[in-house]
Every structure is written in structure tokens, then in C-alpha cells.
């Protein structure tokens, strides 16, 4: 017993002096002989942790708190290990134990906040961060954690205020300035974001500069200063040639500058660093498809779901294998699952009947609001909801937008040229009565897509209703709004209200796609932004004029007034970025010709 005590004393002295090897040898010898000293296990746990032996550290800590349930450091260190192992429930339990022993331990309160945050209970994390700050108001790291939590809840104003408090404690903190810059960026306060990132560049011994220049590039890109953004990304790459995100961002900026060859080269460099990089693959696919290389385009487009930050997942994910597209491996039962927006479903559901010509059974899962149109068009007489599709347990499945690759679709191999979307005859006749009150031609218009999807490359796809005012100067037509939800409020202050049909209020009440299609069927012409309405109208064979931004979505290509996707569609492309007025001048001339024909 006396010898054990002597060795314990020698081990703790060695630890204090930093002689870790000597201390570990002594501690292991003590443990092998048997000891009830919790500090021995606690100290050995720390040494195991320094060597990266987390499992041994965990076992030592468990033993130490078993010997002394009030060993606060043991509970605290155990909580840290559980955090590393992503066992957040046990981490919370360990930190709560620490606080029950040491109620004024600000570090434990802070880490308890971290554990709750990781667990997804952000409100609880905030309450513990605030308690930690109350006990230790000079710890800028706790302020940073609190700001991250507020940001996570969408309270960006509170996050900014907390970061500013942290900067009063340490005005040269890289992490605080970096995070504050990103919050300003998120808020859309781009000048302050730039100012904050540039403050970091003035600090001494700043690292990592590559990440700072990358964020400066993102901020400049949001300002649509693409030349400056490109320079910032190139600086980031100069500091770190392996920074994949900067190659991706550089490619995206070059894409916005219409330098498609350079953009493709940047994406290929990102792919070289990580062949499975989904963001680069997806962006590269858009370039190939825009330029008409459908083979390589659709091949790379298959990577669209293989990145955690990409949120455009299929609307169902049944627990059965995915079909690779090979006829030899085609199952007896095949489920096609819709993905992305309503327009995507309307455009690509045309291919289902082609698959159904074979002996195997084909099922279709799609957004429920489209089920009526799908049935009427005989695409599928009994479409699945996403919930029902998730329970599908036979055969194989495939995402809808993988069909063009499987069917080898291209401008030279269209497969489906004619009308494939059909409305309801009864409803068409019902609306015809109202339309017949007018001698003038009636033009259905649509201007606004879902703002939530119009980010990044899709930004600027929609336009304002008042951009149509040039067309309203023509006295030989009436307008009918097909706008629903987003953008519909613009009708209230429209400068050409008197040009709309008298039954517009009745039209506004219709949200059903089948009845909307019957209204479209009665229109003489549809003029629309790139939205679901464009696909619905054109798929019905209705004469449709599509208004396209300077760099459009991949499906429309880079040039031409017509598309192989729809025979009755005419395209009006922006010549200059964001300039809809020039587009509308051309549409106005074309409309005069159409009305006078």
C-alpha cells in the first residue's frame, strides 16, 4: 500500500514536470496492481487522450467517476469525449453532472451549450451560453458560440450584436471577424461583409488566408462584380491549390461571365482533386448541356444528389435498388420518382409512356398537386404520393431526371415531339363561355417563379409584372394573369389593370392544375418566364412565348428562338444581363404581328 502511494506520488510529480512517458509507465504499473485512486485513472485518461487513444481514455474516465462520482474533471472530460464521438445525449448528461458538482463552471456551461446545439436543441444551447457569459463575460469564444446559435435560429441581428461584443474583448480574433463577415454576407449587407473580411487581411500572422479570399470572392460575386470575384478566388487558390470550394466558386463566377471554357476547366480541376465532387460535377453538367453536349452533360448530372449541401433530393427514396438504366437489369416493377420543381415533373413525365410500352410495370411518384394533370394526360392513371412511394418494396426505382440519360435524349433524338399534356373537356367548355365575351385575343401571362428556388444560377429568372406594360399598349388584346402565390400581389398596383379580363378574380381563385390547364387551353397565347406554366402550356401544345434571362437554365441552350423540347414554343432571350425592357420591345413587335395576322 505504501509502495503504491509512493509510485502515485512519483507519477503525479512526473506529470507536473511534463515527463509524460515516465508518468504513463508509473500509472499503468499502478493500475495493473490495482488501485482505488480515481485520480490515477483520470490522469491516465488525459495521457491516453494526448496519444489519440480515445477509447482507452473513455474507459479510464468511466472508471474514475465510478470510484468518485463527484470527480468533476472526470465528468467534464467524459463529456468532451462523447462530443467527439457524436454521442450528444451522453455528452449532455456528463456536462450536467459537472455543473451539479461545480455550478459556477463557465467552461462546463459553455460545453453543455455546445452539446445541446449539436443535439439540435438550439434554444437550450442559448440559455446555457448566456449563463456561461454571466459567469465569465470576458470569454470571446462563448460569445462566438452564442452568435452561431442565434444565426442558426435565423436571428441574424442578434448574431451580429453578439459578434460585436466578442470583438470588444478581442478585436483581432480571426474566428470572430470571419464569422461576422459571413453573417453580414448572409444578411445581404455586402459592404460590411467586405469591410470585415478586409480587416482580417490587416491582421498579423493571419491563417488561413485562402478561406478569407474565398469569402471575399463570394461576397463580390453576390454584388455581381464577377471580375473582382475571380481575382479573389485566384488569390485563395494561390494560397491553397487544394481548396476545392474555390475552384467551384471560380468556375461559377467564370460561368456568370459567360466564359464557359474557363468555367469548365475550373470545375474539372475541382473534380481532379475529388472525382466525386457533386457540386463541380453538377455545374460542369450544366455547361455541357447548355453547349449541346448531352452525352457528357447527363453523365455528370447523375452526381446531383451526392453532396450533403445539395437539397434537391428526389421526392421519395424507397428502400429498394436504383435502376442503372440497363435493359438487361430492368426489373419487372419500376418506380419513377419526381424531383426538383413542378416544371421539371411536367417536362420530363413525357418519357413515362415510352418505358411503359415494354412488358414491365411502371409506377410514377409525383407531387400530389400534379396528380390530376398526370391522370388526365394518361401519363399514369394512379400516381403515387411521396409517402406511398417510400413504402414501395418491389423492383427498382429511378429519379425522373435520370430518364433523359437512359433514353439518350438529345436535340437529334427527341423521342417525344407532340402534345402530351391534356386538360379536361368539361372544364375547357366551362371557361370558354367566359372567354367568348371578348372579341379580342386573350394573352395568358406569368412572370414570377418560386423565389426560394431562384438563387445562384437561377437568380434573375423572373421579372416584374410591370415589365409587361409595353405589351399593354396594344389595344387588340386582353391579358389574363396565370400567376399564383408569389408575385400575385403585383396585380394590385399594376399600371395596366384595365387590360385584364373582367373575370380575373375568378381565375385567381383557381389553384388546381387541371382547371388552370383548361384556362390555358382557352387562351390564344401564353407569355411566361421560365416556370412551371411554361412547361404546362407548351406541353399542351399551346403557343407559348418563353422569356429567358441572359444565361438560362441548361434545358434551353445558349441560343436560338426555338427548342426541341416543345414545337409550339418561341424563345425571347435577354441580350443584356437583367435587361427585360429590351426583351419586351422585341416581344411587343412580335405581338403586333401575331395579333394582326
For residue 415, how many other CB atoms are within 10 A of its CB? 12
Is 50 a residue whose pLDDT tops 90?
Answer: no
Question: Mind listing the pLDDT tens digit for each residue in 535-554?
Answer: 999 999 999 999 999 999 99
Q: Taking a C-beta distance cutoff of 8 angstroms, is the pair 252, 286 a contact?
A: no
Segment 501-531, tens digit of pLDDT? 999 999 999 999 999 999 999 999 999 999 9
CATH 3.40.50.2000 domain position(s) in the chain: 425-596
Cβ atoms of 335 and 365 closer than 8 Å: yes
C-beta atoms surrounding 341 within 10 Å: 18
Q: pLDDT-based confidence at 308, cuts 50/70/90?
A: very low
Chain segment 59-88, per-residue pLDDT in tens: 777 878 888 889 888 889 889 889 998 999
Give the cell for residue 537.
402550356
Which ranges in 409-567 belong to alpha helices (H)? 425-435, 469-472, 504-508, 513-522, 532-539
- Name beta bridge partners: 201: none
pLDDT value of residue 472: 92
**Contact (CB, 8 A) for 401 and 300:** no
The pLDDT assigned to 7 comes to 63
Rounded CA-CA distance 511/372 in Å is: 12
CA 199 to chain CA centroid, nearest Å: 29
Reported as a single tens digit per residue, the pLDDT across 103-130 is 999 999 999 999 999 999 999 999 999 9
Residue 486, SS3 per DSSP: coil
Question: Which H or E element spans position 88?
Answer: helix 88-101
- Percent helix, strand, coil in the chain, to 5, is 60, 10, 30
Second-level CATH architecture of 425-596: 3-Layer(aba) Sandwich (3.40)
Cα 116 to chain centroid, rounded: 25
| Section 416-420 average pLDDT | 90
244-281 pLDDT, tens digit per residue, is 999 999 999 999 999 999 999 999 999 999 988 889 99
Cis peptide preceding 256, ω within 30 of 0 = no
Q: What is the pLDDT of residues 315-363, one digit of tens each?
A: 999 999 999 888 777 788 999 999 999 999 999 999 999 888 766 799 9
pLDDT on residue 304: 84
Burial class (CB in 10 A: 0-12, 13-18, 19+), 536: buried
Q: Are the CB atoms for 514 and 424 separated by under 8 Å?
A: yes
Query: Residue 27's pLDDT band (boundaries 50, 70, 90)?
Result: low
Q: Using CA atoms, how far apart are residues 536 and 415, in angstroms rounded to an integer?
A: 19
Q: Which residues contact 344 (CB under 8 A, 6 or more apart)?
A: 338, 400, 401
Q: Which residues contact 300 (CB under 8 A, 6 or more apart)?
A: 281, 282, 284, 285, 288
Return the SS3 of 468.
helix
Query: H-helix or E-strand containing 478?
Result: strand 477-481
Which is it for the CA torsion 361, 364, 365, 369, positive or negative? negative
559, pLDDT greater than 70: yes
Phi, then psi, of 456 in degrees rounded to 5: 60, -125
User: Rounded to an integer, what distance in angstroms lies between the CA atom of residue 376 and that of residue 390?
Assistant: 24
**Cα dihedral angle (46, 50, 54, 60), rounded to 10 degrees?**
-20
Q: How far apart are CA 129 and CA 134, in angstroms?
A: 9
Of 27, 29, 54, nearest to 41 by C-alpha is: 27
List the Cα angle 94/97/101 in 5-degree steps: 140
- Please, are residues 447 and 530 in contact by the beta-carbon 8 Å criterion? no
Cβ atoms of 283 and 255 closer than 8 Å = yes
HEC string for 193-211: HHHHHHHHHCCCCCCCHHH
Looking at residue 206, what is its pLDDT? 80
Give me the pLDDT at residue 507, please: 97
pLDDT in tens, 452-485: 777 767 788 999 999 999 999 988 899 999 999 9
Amino acid at each position: 500500500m505504501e509502495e503504491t502511494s509512493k509510485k502515485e506520488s512519483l507519477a503525479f510529480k512526473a506529470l507536473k514536470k511534463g515527463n509524460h512517458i515516465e508518468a504513463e509507465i508509473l500509472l499503468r504499473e499502478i493500475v495493473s496492481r490495482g488501485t482505488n485512486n480515481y485520480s490515477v485513472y483520470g490522469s491516465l485518461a488525459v495521457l491516453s487522450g494526448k496519444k489519440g487513444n480515445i477509447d482507452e481514455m473513455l474507459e479510464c474516465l468511466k472508471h474514475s467517476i465510478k470510484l468518485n462520482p463527484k470527480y468533476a474533471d472526470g465528468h467534464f472530460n467524459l463529456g468532451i469525449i462523447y462530443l467527439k464521438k457524436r454521442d450528444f445525449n451522453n455528452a449532455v448528461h456528463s456536462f450536467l453532472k459537472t455543473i451539479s458538482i461545480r455550478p459556477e463552471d463557465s467552461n462546463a456551461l459553455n460545453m453543455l451549450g455546445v452539446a445541446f446545439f449539436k443535439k439540435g436543441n438550439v434554444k437550450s444551447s442559448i440559455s446555457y451560453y448566456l449563463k456561461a457569459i454571466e459567469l465569465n463575460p470576458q470569454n470571446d469564444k462563448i460569445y462566438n458560440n452564442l452568435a452561431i446559435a442565434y444565426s442558426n435560429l435565423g436571428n441574424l441581428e442578434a448574431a451580429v450584436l453578439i459578434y460585436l461584443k466578442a470583438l470588444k474583448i478581442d478585436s483581432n480574433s480571426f474566428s470572430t471577424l470571419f464569422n461576422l463577415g459571413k453573417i453580414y454576407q448572409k444578411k445581404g449587407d455586402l459592404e460590411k461583409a467586405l469591410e470585415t473580411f478586409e480587416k482580417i487581411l490587416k491582421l498579423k500572422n493571419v491563417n488561413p488566408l485562402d478561406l478569407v479570399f474565398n469569402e471575399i470572392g463570394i461576397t463580390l460575386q453576390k454584388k455581381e462584380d464577377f471580375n473582382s470575384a475571380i481575382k479573389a478566388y485566384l488569390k485563395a487558390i494561390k494560397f491553397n491549390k487544394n481548396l476545392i470550394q474555390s475552384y467551384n466558386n471560380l468556375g461559377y463566377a467564370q460561368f456568370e461571365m459567360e466564359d464557359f471554357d474557363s468555367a469548365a476547366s475550373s470545375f474539372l480541376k475541382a473534380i481532379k482533386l475529388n472525382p466525386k465532387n457533386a457540386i463541380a460535377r453538377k455545374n460542369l453538367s450544366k455547361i455541357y448541356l447548355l453547349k449541346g453536349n448531352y452525352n457528357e452533360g447527363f453523365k455528370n448530372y447523375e452526381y446531383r444528389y451526392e453532396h450533403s449541401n445539395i437539397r434537391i433530393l428526389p421526392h421519395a427514396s424507397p428502400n429498394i435498388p436504383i435502376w442503372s438504366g440497363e435493359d438487361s437489369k430492368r426489373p419487372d416493377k419500376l418506380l419513377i420518382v419526381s424531383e426538383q420543381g413542378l416544371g421539371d415533373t411536367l417536362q420530363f413525365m413525357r418519357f413515362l409512356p415510352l418505358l411503359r410500352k415494354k412488358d414491365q410495370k411502371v409506377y410514377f411518384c409525383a407531387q400530389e398537386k400534379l396528380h390530376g394533370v398526370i391522370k388526365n394526360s394518361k401519363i399514369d392513371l394512379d400516381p403515387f404520393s411521396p409517402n406511398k412511394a417510400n413504402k414501395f418494396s418491389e423492383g427498382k426505382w429511378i429519379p425522373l431526371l435520370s430518364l433523359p440519360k437512359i433514353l439518350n435524349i438529345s436535340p437529334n433524338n427527341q423521342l417525344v415531339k407532340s402534345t402530351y399534356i391534356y386538360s379536361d373537356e368539361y372544364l375547357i367548355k366551362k371557361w370558354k363561355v367566359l372567354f367568348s365575351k371578348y372579341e379580342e385575343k386573350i394573352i395568358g401571362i406569368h412572370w414570377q417563379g418560386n423565389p426560394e428556388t431562384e438563387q445562384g444560377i437561377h437568380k434573375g429568372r423572373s421579372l416584374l409584372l410591370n415589365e409587361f406594360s409595353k405589351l399593354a399598349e396594344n389595344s387588340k388584346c386582353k391579358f389574363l394573369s396565370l400567376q399564383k402565390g408569389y408575385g400575385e400581389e403585383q396585380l394590385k398596383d399594376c399600371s395596366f389593370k384595365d387590360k385584364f379580363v373582367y373575370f380575373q378574380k375568378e381565375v385567381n381563385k383557381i389553384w388546381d392544375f387541371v382547371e388552370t390547364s383548361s384556362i390555358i387551353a382557352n387562351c390564344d397565347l401564353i407569355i411566361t418566364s421560365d416556370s412551371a406554366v411554361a412547361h404546362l402550356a407548351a406541353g399542351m401544345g399551346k403557343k407559348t412565348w418563353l422569356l429567358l434571362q441572359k444565361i438560362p437554365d441548361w434545358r434551353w441552350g445558349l441560343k436560338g428562338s426555338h427548342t426541341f423540347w416543345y414545337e409550339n414554343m418561341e424563345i425571347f432571350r435577354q441580350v443584356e444581363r437583367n435587361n427585360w425592357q429590351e426583351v419586351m420591345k422585341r416581344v411587343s413587335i412580335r405581338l403586333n404581328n401575331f395579333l394582326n395576322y
